[in-house]
């Protein structure tokens, strides 16, 4: 059964409850969710990711950031980024999914519309690619 995507409106982009364009398998390092500080993804993992702080997410369905690229490298960068750690250094959680390179920017735009990240914004000129949401 396909997961519906919730309806959200952010910066003129509507995230509807239609069946997503792309079905992703969201990964974790350990336990239910992976701590950003201790997560060690596979060396060749590449795709899209979402970093969030649990209380901030519960209060307003917001992520700290969403992004794309070589997962291990990007997460290592974010672990040392003060703008990211400001939101909860020891409590930040992360999940990622493999994603075709030619769809990543569109997926990031879609995730940003759904989760309104505090840090970083996707290119508004990129056409969004809807996916099943991880959280």
State the CB neighbour count (10 A cutoff) for residue 115. Answer: 25
Has residue 83 got a pLDDT over 80? yes
Q: pLDDT tier at 89 (50, 70, 90 boundaries)?
A: confident
Say if residues 126 and 105 touch (Cβ distance below 8 Å).
yes
pLDDT digits (tens, 9 = 90+) for 2-57: 444 445 554 555 555 578 899 999 998 876 788 998 899 999 999 999 999 988 77
SS3 for 19-78 is CCCECCCEECCCCCCEECCCCCCCCCCEEEEEEECHHHHHHHCCCCEEEEEEHHHHHHHH
pLDDT digits (tens, 9 = 90+) for 106-131: 999 999 999 999 998 899 999 999 99
| pLDDT at position 117 | 94
| pLDDT at position 84 | 92
């Amino acid at each position: 059964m396909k997961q519906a995507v919730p309806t959200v409106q952010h910066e003129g982009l509507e995230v509807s409850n239609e069946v997503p364009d792309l079905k992703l398998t969201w990964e974790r390092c350990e336990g239910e969710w992976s701590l950003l500080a201790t997560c060690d993804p596979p060396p060749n993992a590449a795709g899209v990711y979402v970093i969030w702080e649990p209380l901030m997410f519960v209060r307003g369905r917001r992520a700290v950031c969403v992004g794309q690229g070589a997962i291990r490298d990007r997460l290592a960068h974010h672990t040392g980024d003060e703008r990211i750690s400001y939101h909860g250094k020891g409590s930040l959680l992360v999940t990622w999914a493999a994603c075709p390179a030619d769809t990543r920017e569109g997926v990031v735009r879609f995730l940003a519309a759904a989760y309104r990240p505090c840090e970083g914004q996707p290119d508004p000129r990129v056409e969004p690619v809807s996916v099943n949401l991880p959280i």
